[in-house]
Amino acid sequence: MKNKLWFWPALIVGTAADQATKLLAFRHLEQGEYLRLIPYVLGLTTSENKGALFGMLPGSGALLALFSVAALGVILWFLHRAPQQGKCLPAALGMIAAGATGNLIDRTFNNGMVRDFIDLHVGPYQLRQWWSHWPTFNIADALICIGVAMVIYAEFKKPKAKQPVVDNQ
């Protein structure tokens, strides 16, 4: 049970980091402004996503908010039911929950939209081709992706159950 406590710091710190960075980005960047951090790779620009991943399901903020609440319930259920496995799985679930919570806060208090500001690309920012430009995202989205990768890692890392030896003689 002790290792499951890693869930709560990941949830709290992740949600706070997401909301703080969104606040800073939207307070200090004008709409459409681009701040280059690493030339040809990374910058900041503000956008609001009215849908889900890659803008799918536009205008479905209420439905997506309900999905986030359901996802949080499933995560808490899974955390409670998961066997004791170390710190990785609870921290990963906390990160996924933080991402869901951060985007849920946005949908609730931002007219159903999620605020995005991290811009990854290959080549000049102005090129903006499908092959060179990743959709703008936020810390919550990154936490969800990192958390899912950690869950997959934890699944591969856990010891395999030993198969009984069958003697056919």
- Three-state SS for the chain is CHHHHHHHHHHHHHHHHHHHHHHHHHHHCCCCCCEEEECCCEEEEEEEECCCHHHCCCCCHHHHHHHHHHHHHHHHHHHHHCCCCCCHHHHHHHHHHHHHHHHHHHHHHCCCCEEEEEEEECCCHHHCCCCCECCCECHHHHHHHHHHHHHHHHHHHCCCCCCCCCCCC
**In terms of pLDDT, which residue wins out, 2 or 130?**
2
Q: Is pLDDT at 1 greater than 80 in this prediction?
A: no
Lowest-pLDDT range, 41-50, 58-67, 127-136?
127-136
Mean pLDDT of the chain: 85
pLDDT digits (tens, 9 = 90+) for 53-96: 666 666 677 888 888 999 999 999 988 887 766 788 899 999 99
Active-site residue identified among 18, 106, 116, 119: 116
What proportion of the chain, given as a percentage, has pLDDT over 70? Answer: 82
Q: Is pLDDT at 8 greater than 60 in this prediction?
A: yes
Provide the pLDDT for residue 114: 93
Residue 18 among the catalytic residues:
no
* Mean pLDDT of the region 44-57: 78
* Mean pLDDT of the region 146-156: 90
- Categorize the per-residue pLDDT at 158 as very low, low, confident or very high, splitting at 50, 70 and 90: confident
Q: Is pLDDT at 50 greater than 80 in this prediction?
A: yes
Active-site residue identified among 18, 106, 119, 141: 141
**For the chain, domain boundaries:** 2-155
Name the amino acid, one letter, at 109: F
Q: Is pLDDT at 156 greater than 90 in this prediction?
A: no
Residue 116 among the catalytic residues:
yes
